[in-house]
Amino acid sequence: DIQMTQSPSSLSESIGDRVTITCRASQGISNSLAWYQQKPGKAPKLVLYAASRLESGVPSRFSGSGSGTDYTLTISSLQPEDFATYYCQQYYTIPFTFGPGTKVHIK
Amino acid sequence: EVQLVESGGGLVQPGGSLRLSCAASGFTFSTYWMHWVRQAPGKGLVWVSRIYSDESSTNYADSVKGRFIISRDNTKNTLYLQMNSLRDEDTAVYYCARVQNSGWPLDAFDIWGPGTMVTVSS
């Protein structure tokens, strides 16, 4: 199975800050990488897919990059509605696997 | 509106069984791979199973293989997860999810249901 790791596991940031979350796969996944946002008590919401493609309706302050095994999610200017937990997921092969999550707190 | 809604969760004793349902609407259900994902309380997301549009292909996580069965009824636009021999560690919110593109086996999940809670406890 492909193992996914994320860093940091949590971070505290202020409104307007730039935030970067890193995701690493245990083997190359050819950009088959998605990012999800989850708020407490809610289902995950797709933010980015194919490593860098923005899901319809997601604000352009979200962006993604990376290749091979290393990927990043960047929020250019953190907004109040962005405080949530973010998960990366590889869909390169079965079993699909998720990273452990990064919780973004308000500083 | 494209929508998924799970049902069937509840409290069950260890060793018991439960069948979850996921009702789909607003899209051509019969053409999409469908998945189940679970999340234990306070923990992360874990992929459980997937099924091809015509049920000819299914896959399972090792942790549920031999105990869970995924199926679908395209005439009712409904996905199922039959869970047998339940264990404490199966306690979780169970989500059904749709892949983004019709017919694509390896794809991100763009539509999720709100989830249904399964509690395994004596």
Asked if B58 contacts B49 with a C-beta cutoff of 8 angstroms, the reply is yes
Contact A87 B45 (CB under 8 A): yes
Under 8 Å between Cβ of B34 and B22: yes
pLDDT of residue A67: 96
Sequence letter at residue A25? A
Q: Which amino acid belongs to residue A73? A: L
SS (H, E, C) B35-73: EEEEECCCCCEEEEEEECCCCCCEEECCCCCCCEEEEEE
pLDDT in tens, B27-52: 999 999 999 999 999 999 999 999 99
pLDDT at residue B55 greater than cutoff 90: no
Q: How many CB atoms lie within 10 A of CB A41?
A: 8
Given 3-state DSSP classes, what are the helix, strand and coil percentages for chain A, each rounded to the nearest 5? 5, 50, 50
Task: Summarize pLDDT for A41-86 with one digit per residue, the tens.
Answer: 999 999 999 999 999 999 999 999 999 999 999 999 999 999 999 9
The residue among B6, B109, B110, B111 with the most chain A CBs within 10 A of its CB, best to mutate, is B109
d(CA A46, CA B28): 20
Q: Which of B3, B62, B70 is nearest to B36 (CA)?
A: B70
* CA distance readout (Å), B37 to A14, A82, B53, B68, B95: 32, 23, 17, 13, 5
Contact residues on chain A for B108, CB-CB shorter than 8 A: 34, 46, 49-50, 89, 91
pLDDT tens across A7-28, in order?
999 999 999 999 999 999 999 9
pLDDT band at residue A106 using 50, 70 and 90 as cut-offs: confident
Kindly list the residues from chain A whose CB atom is less than 8 angstroms away from the CB atom of residue B45. 36, 38, 44, 87, 89, 98, 101
C-alpha B75/C-alpha B99 separation (Å) is: 19
